Amino acid sequence: MIDQNTSQPSANVPRRNTIIGIVVALIIGAVLGGLITGAFTFPRPNNTASSAAGNTASTGADTTRDSCDTTFTVVASVNQWGSLARELGGSCAQVTSLINSTSADPHDYEATPADLAKLFKADIVVLNGTGYDGWAEKAQLDAKRQTIVNVGDLMGITATEEHSHGHAEGEEGHHHHHGSTNPHLWFSPEAVLKAAEAINAAYVDKAGAGSATASTVQRHFNEWNGDYADFVTLVNKARASNVQRSYVATESIISYLLEYIGAVDKTPVTYTNAMNSEAEPSAADLKNAMDIVSGDDVDLLVVNPQEMNGFAKKLNEAAQSSNKTIISATEQLPENQKTLLGWLTLIANQALATDTTNGYFLTQDVKDRSLSDYEGEWQSVYPLLQDGTLDKVMEAKAKKGDMTAAEYTKYYDAGYKTDVERIAIKGDQMSFTRGGKTATATYEYSGFKILDYAKGNRGVRYLFTATGDAPEGAPKIVQFSDHGIAPTKAAHFHIFMGNDSQEETLKEMDNWPTYYPASMSKEEVATEMLAH
């Protein structure tokens, strides 16, 4: 079943609501950090988050049950850590992230007097450390009055004199000279876990044991720990399946995460050294990097869209021309991501590329398909939604998702809506039945198109065009999406129909009539959807 803004199904898992003691929760958190085995669970989807600093309405946590007899003012230097503080604090934390947009460049950032005042007045301050946000580390803070969470200190990583940022002469963008220090700690699952534990401890300490606020923030931390367990399980399943990924990166900002999932860095050392300093890669180094990206030993190219200088663009072009998967990762939490852990889970899914059904796959694995994959007689599920057969499907989605059953019904009513009751496919012909009248046309394959969705996953549409003049009732353009990326018999499909062009039909995202085999009963379709 399609989820909003995608052509892939949305899978959710129940949230954990058990409130346990503070000590036990912290022990669990520590255990999870080293978790090696466990049952695989799909990550929860990410929705668009507000970019307004201090907004507590969009935390990624269930705040409907929050009870706060104490509230905190929390200031984070960057929104990566601010989003985590907001999620863990819920309604009890008023969080401001001083750098809160991908349009802001942290390497050129200069704190304003207002920023410094917010840092000074905050009950709790969350810093990245390692020199990344040195302007905040150097602010006038009061360790006796304030609780200061410095993630670099938690990880035992301090800034070095090697850490600097600068422009290369005549070159757009930045080179990040970090020396032996990688300051992008929010991409380290270990650092994220340590930060969550430290922020939770700060909240509980400020609130006081036994307070309503302490119970509320502890519940959020326990729920977050469940999400973290899901993330670790995702990675461990890939390890158990011996999933191996290799990559080249225009910058090394997500190297902590890629190392955690077991990906191998194939970026030439000479290129990396040049890009991490104020030097420029030589023509030979750049060509070598481009050749490696285009070769068979690399699965992924990782780019930072905030820093797409001329060299990064050339590597991006090499990846596109060689049909390689490209992962785009900004430094700041993107505006369409609600939580830090959700963002890391998304990137991990993109890099592992092992969940085709949910839209995570390697570009190079997508293959051409023929109309024979969809051969057979098919029934529309729209009448089943209208007559109530799918009510239990909507109710099941409501238990796991973020909408009510009525809201899901409304959403799928728009998606499934069609007057084409039946579709029959045989050979290169398709027949469309409306109100007892059938129109048949012959179609030829027009290739496939990979679509990138707002949530970060992707889908593939297989395109077919009517040959000659299609009779009335038969669309000129047909596009199939069945969650498959290579030749295989479809178990069901979503179809997009139009009479203009393939390009125009590709723009349709809200209406995707869905068809199951005509041989299935209503109840069988509903049961299959519940499993799907």
DSSP-derived 3-state class of residue 520:
coil
Its domain, for residue 104, covers 72-155+181-234
Same domain, 197 and 321: no
Read off the amino acid at residue 277: S
Count of domains observed in the chain: 3
Yes or no: say if 498 and 454 are a contact pair by the CB < 8 Å rule.
no
Same domain, 143 and 202: yes
pLDDT tens string 425-454 = 999 999 999 999 999 999 999 999 999 998
Angstrom distance (rounded) from CA 294 to CA 286: 12
50 belongs to a structural domain: no
Angstrom distance (rounded) from CA 450 to CA 460: 5
Same domain, 348 and 376: no
> Is the pLDDT assigned to residue 44 strictly greater than 90?
no
> Is the pLDDT assigned to residue 184 strictly greater than 90?
yes
Same domain, 460 and 500: yes
What dihedral angle (degrees, nearest 10) is formed by the CA atoms of 127, 131, 136, 142? 70
pLDDT tier at 528, thresholds 50, 70, 90: very high
41 belongs to a structural domain: no
Domain end call among 234, 254, 277: 234
46 belongs to a structural domain: no
pLDDT tens string 302-341 = 999 888 888 899 999 999 999 999 999 998 899 889 999 9
Only one residue has tokens 């085995």, namely 37
Same domain, 306 and 411: no
Cα dist from 34 to 92, 266, 386, whole Å: 30, 27, 49
14 belongs to a structural domain: no
30 belongs to a structural domain: no
Angstrom distance (rounded) from CA 89 to CA 501: 50
Angstrom distance (rounded) from CA 290 to CA 268: 10
Domain end call among 321, 353, 385: 353
pLDDT for 261:
96
DSSP-derived 3-state class of residue 493:
strand
Percent of the chain with pLDDT over 90: 70
Full 3-state SS string of 22-38: HHHHHHHHHHHHCCCCC
Cα dist from 286 to 57, 87, 169, 318, 379, whole Å: 46, 42, 18, 11, 54
Domain end call among 234, 258, 273: 234
Angstrom distance (rounded) from CA 65 to CA 521: 42
Same domain, 118 and 258: no
DSSP-derived 3-state class of residue 86:
helix
pLDDT for 100:
87
Strands (E), 313-382: 325-328, 376-380
360 belongs to a structural domain: no
Same domain, 275 and 295: yes
CATH code, domain carrying 443: 2.40.128.20
pLDDT for 60:
62
Mean predicted confidence (pLDDT) in 239-266: 94
Same domain, 402 and 508: yes
CATH code, domain carrying 202: 3.40.50.1980
| Backbone φ and ψ of 222, nearest 5° | -65, -40
